[in-house]
Amino acid sequence: MKKIYLYMKRSPYRIIIYILFLSLFLSLPCKSHPLNNMSRDFELTSVEGKKIKLSDYGGKTVVLVFWAFWCDTWKDVAEGFDYLSRDFSPVPFQYLVVAVDPTRKEIMTKNKKEIPFPVVIDEKGTVGSLFEVRRVPTVIIIDGEGKIRYRGEGYPGNKKLKEILWRILKEN
């Protein structure tokens, strides 16, 4: 500790330079998608081989879920879709799932009855990079105007997701 004190005492400008550098670094804009920022369109192929674009759902609130087949959260997502579909039947909303691991498509084909929404495969990771997905599941809700209104890592649970959707739909 004494060595550090003597070092700093000899060169007080180093502290000033360090503080300036740190404040400059902290003031740089973050690259993440802030809420109310417009989402960007993408096109991927579904597990059935159909080309799907995010813009195909223009005017609808889209619950965009990034998942991996090896993670059992997909079961909660499928259950959540059924849960929300009952309450939001007159409201235009759509689930769109982006699978980040293309190696497990067999899970999708085995459980096709349980998954009543489109699942697209992000084989190259381009859409995951576009939305800066760092872990799965990640849930992003995009309103009918294309604005990102919610972003969360981890599945929030069906009840919480319902609350978030109602709040977003009331604000529009």
90 occurs within a structural domain: yes
Please tell me the distance from the alpha carbon of residue 20 to that of residue 17, in angstroms, as a whole number.
5
Please check whether residues 68 and 93 belong to one and the same domain: yes
Which structural domain range is residue 116 located in? 43-171
Please check whether residues 89 and 124 belong to one and the same domain: yes
- pTM for the model: 0.74
pLDDT tens digits, 78-110: 777 777 777 776 677 888 999 988 766 666 666
Please check whether residues 109 and 24 belong to one and the same domain: no
Please check whether residues 25 and 48 belong to one and the same domain: no
pLDDT, greater one: 8 or 85? 85
pLDDT tens digits, 131-154: 999 999 999 999 989 999 999 998
